[in-house]
Structure 1
Amino acid sequence: MKRSLAAVLVLTGLLSACTTTDDQPTAAPPSSAAPPSSAEPPPSAEPSLSSAPPPPADCVTTTLDGLNQAERVGQLLMIGVSVNAPSGAGDTLRRYHVGGTFLRGRSTHSAARLKSGIAALQKNAALPMLVAVDQEGGSVQTLKGPDFPRLPSAFRLGAGPAPALRDTTRGSARRLAAIGVNLNLAPVADTVPASIGEANPPIGAFHRQFGSDPARVSAAIRTVVPTSQEAGVLTTLKHFPGLGRVRVNTDVSTGATDNTATVNDPYLAPFKAGIEAGTAAVMISSARYPKIDTDALAAFSRPVITGLLRDKIGFDGLVISDDLGAARAVTGVVPAQRATRFVSAGGDMVLTIVPSDAAPMAAALIDKAESDPAFRARVDDAARHVLQAKQKAGLLRCG
């Protein structure tokens, strides 16, 4: 802590005074000493620390402090709404204080029509919501109307020059930002080995990967993340810790397993590259990784989310689940437990494309927070991560 000159002078005087006691009086100066020419006024004392006003709270803390338990839990939910009729979920968004929406399906609507629908959707929220889409390119492109040109696949873009990837990313992000989308559930950071290729159902079969070499994928991720976020759309690296080696699609089947991945897997490099580039979010897969956690799916795994992603790699941003609503991989767990298990493992935002999941998920999160102080603190931490992402997107307004 820095002290002012006045405080230093006061402290110096006090130290000098402490060298004199009643038993050892200070000797009088010799008669030959010249008298002081003038008397300096004593320095004014600064106010004590206890009387100084506290520093202003940051906007995230101020916002979080203003939320009750139900509202904090609501921030942890991202609910799927129809991209062509988003206002149909308005009651659910209001009732459960939902923090984010995912525009599901495919749309050929104009930018003006989509912008109007998203604006109406935001009016249902007490706090502005994260509005997400899957706008990867290739086979996975939510918006395909006249104002949204078809995007090449990641595989094609990854094989081309970096300037082309940068220009494509920037143009797409600007179009999304212009209609009110602030979060893209992309880019795919999974690496699919050439030896597997299209035999990898969730990624390789659709050419969603930037390549078969993690170094090439890392280079693409380093381009995409800052380019998109500088254009106004936050990025989400997916599907941590990687879906490139599984032989089952978690959306439609159970049993997706990567028996190779470890905490030192070279295929983690693209995720690390995106985190270093400042990505706002990381999405967790619903596959199994036995060499990291022998017991749980990644979405419910503390060793994967907290141990690897948070502690070892050091990611401190928003952790989103892959779909925990309709995905076949999680059907063995009831919706309420899907939410509590994901958050307990270290996740922040529960994504479900099933709007009716909001009720049991919110109720379970509230009940557990009210009965378990450690979980309540985890909810607060997760809500803070959501609000920090919103601040990064320019959605929070304080003062």
Structure 2
Amino acid sequence: MPGAPDLTVLADWTLREKVGQLVMVGLPVGGPFQPTLTMLREKQIGGVFLHGRTTAGRQPVKNLVAAAVDAAADKVPLFVATDQEGGAVQVLRGPGFSDIPSALDQAELTPAELRSRSRAWGDELAAAGVNLNLAPVLDLVPRATASSNAPIGAFGRNYGYTARSVVEHGNAFARGQRDADVQTSIKHFPGLGRVTGNTDDTAGVTDTVTGADAPSVTVFEAGVEAGSGLVMMSSAVYTEIDPKNPAVFSPVVVGLVRELGFDGVVISDDLSAAAQVQEVPAGRRAVRAVDAGVDLVLASARPSVAPAMVDALLRTARDDPDFAAKVDAAAARVVTAKAAL
């Protein structure tokens, strides 16, 4: 198990400043931009996620990132994230951005070649001001059921169909990004390869197979050992680990990440618009995630709910010393991760 985070990095921080570091809000690449920029300023939010799709190229993205950085507090760098996996999931396209092949096609390359090409793709992100790619996907998808695996296999987001292929190629992609000084988040722990529904648009998504010692968990352990700075939680329910809670709200499942030796930032999948969590009020989603051990709450698809999340985290931390301690730990991990940006 990793040690406790270094709280001295927060020595002169207010509670509001600490809470702001725990939220990442969507910044729509097609606009409107101002609501998110206002949130950054008024709620002291510490991260943006470039959301949607654009083919406008590097310069408009760079201008948008500059506006976000100007609006944000400057105590620590702003996390500027996106989904630049390749294939069907590539937010940024146009002049200055390569058309990246799907993970399934990337897995046809040698790991050395993939790392080299990923370095070039990471350089493109860095040149636009992006410092965090919420990739690679390390979900282990069985070949026989890939077409019915709505979130991953149906889109070819998986690095092949074996644990070896996923580890070798997923880690090669991640290392290439980090070679370009773009941090990575492996996802979606403990794996979405065994589900049929997509948590973004389907409620009740459940995995009845994956246990704490499943091969899909071992794949993430290899990703942790390879140096990924973030791990993203799945929002599915895993009956063999915690049948009562979605993974992102489960201290048991989040705890498994720490048992792998991971001392970095645990980030949620989108908690703003995902059908899987809509029965929980927005503010409560953020509180439940942080209470379970998540460090960074993603509100990407529906950024308008981010203020409610910040306010709920603040209220709960003021009322509950134990929760306030979790906020401190989470903020310390986020701030420590940003020190390398």
Same fold? TM cut 0.5: yes
**In 2, distance between residues paired with 1:347 and 1:359?**
18
The Cα offsets for residues 60-113 of structure 1, whole Å up to 9 and x where unpaired, read as 756522221111101100000111347422111111110100000001112122
Note the C-alpha offset of 1:230.
1.9
Q: Does 1:319 align with 2:266?
A: yes
Contact 1:86 1:121 in 2 (8 A): no
**Structure 1 equivalent of residue 240 of structure 2:** 291
Which structure's residues are more often strand, by fraction? 2
Structure 2 unaligned blocks of 5 or more:
1-5
Compare 108-117 and 127-136 and name the one that shifted more: 108-117
Q: Please tell me the residue identity of whatever aligns with 2:339.
A: Q
Contact 1:84 1:109 in 2 (8 A): no
**Structure 2 equivalent of residue 363 of structure 1:** 311
**Structure 1 equivalent of residue 3 of structure 2:** none
Q: Does 1:65 align with 2:7?
A: no
**Structure 1 equivalent of residue 102 of structure 2:** 153
Note the C-alpha offset of 1:294.
1.5
- Indicate how the Cα distance of structure 1 residues 380 and 247 shifts in structure 2: closer, same or farther if over 3 A, else same: same
Contact 1:92 1:355 in 2 (8 A): no
Give the 5 Å matches for 1:218-297: 218-297=167-246
**In 2, distance between residues paired with 1:64 and 1:109?**
39
Contact 1:136 1:186 in 2 (8 A): yes
**In 2, distance between residues paired with 1:338 and 1:162?**
38
SS of the residue corresponding to residue 236 of structure 1 reads: strand
Note the C-alpha offset of 1:214.
1.0
The Cα offsets for residues 298-341 of structure 1, whole Å up to 9 and x where unpaired, read as 010000002x111x211110011000001100011000110000
TM-score normalised over the length of structure 1: 0.81
Q: Please tell me the residue identity of whatever aligns with 1:169.
A: S
**Structure 2 equivalent of residue 350 of structure 1:** 297
**Structure 1 equivalent of residue 38 of structure 2:** 91
**Structure 2 equivalent of residue 377 of structure 1:** 325
**In 1, distance between residues paired with 2:209 and 2:164?**
18
Q: Does 1:125 align with 2:60?
A: no
- Indicate which of 104, 115, 119 corresponds to 1:170: 119
**In 2, distance between residues paired with 1:86 and 1:188?**
29
The Cα offsets for residues 129-171 of structure 1, whole Å up to 9 and x where unpaired, read as 1000000000000011121121110001113222331122111
Note the C-alpha offset of 1:224.
2.0
Q: Please tell me the residue identity of whatever aligns with 2:44.
A: H
Contact 1:283 1:319 in 2 (8 A): yes
Runs of 4+ in 1 over 4 A off after TM superposition: 60-63
Contact 2:317 2:323 in 1 (8 A): yes
Q: Does 1:75 align with 2:24?
A: no
Note the C-alpha offset of 1:218.
0.8
**In 2, distance between residues paired with 1:173 and 1:279?**
14
Contact 2:135 2:174 in 1 (8 A): no
SS of the residue corresponding to residue 103 of structure 1 reads: strand
Q: Please tell me the residue identity of whatever aligns with 2:94.
A: G
SS of the residue corresponding to residue 209 of structure 1 reads: coil
Q: Does 1:392 align with 2:337?
A: no
SS of the residue corresponding to residue 195 of structure 1 reads: helix
Aligned residues: 332
Contact 1:218 1:269 in 2 (8 A): no
SS of the residue corresponding to residue 116 of structure 1 reads: helix
The Cα offsets for residues 154-209 of structure 1, whole Å up to 9 and x where unpaired, read as 00111322233112211110000111100001000001101101110000000000
**In 2, distance between residues paired with 1:150 and 1:369?**
44
TM-score normalised over the length of structure 2: 0.95
**In 1, distance between residues paired with 2:172 and 2:305?**
36
Note the C-alpha offset of 1:371.
1.2
**In 1, distance between residues paired with 2:156 and 2:57?**
27
Contact 2:149 2:193 in 1 (8 A): yes
**In 2, distance between residues paired with 1:96 and 1:346?**
22
